[in-house]
Amino acid sequence: MDIYLISFVVVGIAALAMAWLPTWFKEVPVSYAMLFICVGFLLYKLPIGLPEPDPLRKNDFALRLSELCVIITLMGTGIKINRRFSLFKWQVPLRLVSWTMLLCIGTLAWLAWQFLGFPVASAVLLAAALAPTDPVLASDVQVGPPSDEVEDATRFALTAEAGLNDGMAFPFTWLAISLALHGLAPEAWLMDWLSYDVLYRIVVGVGAGFLLGKVLEYLLFKLPKKGNFPETQDGFVAISATLLVYGLTEMVHGYGFIAVFITGLTLKHYEEDNSYHREMHDFTDQIERILVVIVLILLGGSISRGLLDALTWQGALVSIGFLLVIRPLAGFIGLLGVPVKTREKWAISFFGIRGIGSVFYLAFALGKADFANPEEIWAVAGFTILLSVFMHGVLATPIMRYLDKVRKPTDFIDPDKAALEMSDNDKGEPTAKPQE
């Protein structure tokens, strides 16, 4: 049979199923990601000539597919966050992408080096790839479509963290590449890494995302009100904006992931109640579903074809320890002192879902430099992603349902009111009553 037509049929059936699966699985402790990984695993056991799924053999394809999936998701993630940015209102996700991420990277890199025997460059790469939470597979614990509601602490924190940290992990991927190319001597790479890969690329990513977001905001919302410029309500503009912003930012060597997310936020916070935000979000969500189906089937197929063959019991133990101990503890430590209930802190810390972003970082780095043990790196990362998909997929619905049930009105922090209360306290005025 024609492999091209078989691929069409498989993707078509799977994408069609995605029209109903999120609704069917909404109230049960099962995720569609679990289902499609199993489907991919079984399909690749059949002798029907499906395309090669192994990311080691098809590195460029794995890189570009995961890249496209992540950037489209990041635009949708930015558009659906209602909370305007400030250091106070965003203190939880900012701590997660700084203190928590650094703790996760440092601890996991040390374990991979000491316990698994990885070379330093490989250990840093594994840690950098697995440190960021995934914006693609974490929809069950994130905020919903654009609205004017105040998000609860857990969903907002996990959504904003997923949006920010895919870009913030990139400097450490470049660190691993520098170590692989130049060795451990810091004089060969340290200053270039700090000034270029950390400072320059992050600043350019943030700046480009904000400036291009303002340009798009003017074209989409302001210009039609000023003259004869036609107004559009087409959702595909979000995809166009994603590709434009990502491409331009990467051309000037900034971090495109950061830029796309910042652009989404910038667009959302102009006329927040405008129904066009919902149109753009829904379109990105639909395109994302199709891409996610393909990635998950290929991930299941790669496991079926031997992705985990190089996994040792030590590697499996590190993966389990990372998800059950390192990330939860690092998350909780990073959130010490923030005005969030303890149970919400533990939930935020636990749901460090790993997924498609990790695939991108590994494929990117392995295409830039030669690492000593790519099979072992992929095996540990693949097992961690697989374990995360099933563990978090089973637990997300009951835990989030429990938090929604026990959450009190006084727990439901309105960041604008909280900021106002802090300002009043600084002036010596009476503290406002908790939100009822």
pLDDT at 159 over 60: yes
Single out the residue of 332, 339, 352, 341 nearest to residue 406, CA to CA: 341
Can you give the pLDDT at residue 417? Answer: 53
Question: What region, left, alpha or beta, does residue 25 occupy, with left being phi > 0 and alpha being psi -120 to 50 degrees?
Answer: alpha
Can you give the pLDDT at residue 223? Answer: 86
- Average pLDDT for the chain: 87
Q: Average pLDDT, stretch 380-393?
A: 93
Single out the residue of 433, 113, 136, 96 nearest to residue 288, CA to CA: 136
Quick: pLDDT tens for 302-330.
999 999 999 999 999 999 999 999 999 99
Give residue for tokens 């990790």.
358
69 or 427, greater pLDDT: 69
Distance from CA of residue 238 to its chain's centroid? 18
Quick: pLDDT tens for 24-50.
877 778 888 899 999 999 999 988 888
Domains of the chain: 3-426 (1.20.1530.20)
Quick: pLDDT tens for 62-102.
999 999 999 999 999 899 888 888 888 899 999 999 999 99
pLDDT at 275 over 90: no
Can you give the pLDDT at residue 148? Answer: 53
Could you give the CA distance from residue 356 to residue 169 in angstroms, rounded to a whole number? 14
Q: Average pLDDT, stretch 122-126?
A: 97
pLDDT at 426 over 60: no
Give residue for tokens 């087409």.
234
Q: Average pLDDT, stretch 13-32?
A: 83
pLDDT at 419 over 70: no
Could you give the CA distance from residue 355 to residue 385 in angstroms, rounded to a whole number? 5
Q: Average pLDDT, stretch 224-234?
A: 82
pLDDT at 281 over 60: yes
Can you give the pLDDT at residue 134? Answer: 79
Residues 6+ apart with CB under 8 A from 365: 125, 128, 129, 173, 176, 177, 180, 371
Residue 387: pLDDT band with limits 50, 70, 90: very high
- Window from 171-180, 206-215, 277-286 with minimum mean pLDDT: 277-286
Q: Average pLDDT, stretch 147-155?
A: 72
Quick: pLDDT tens for 325-361.
999 999 999 999 888 889 999 999 998 777 889 999 9
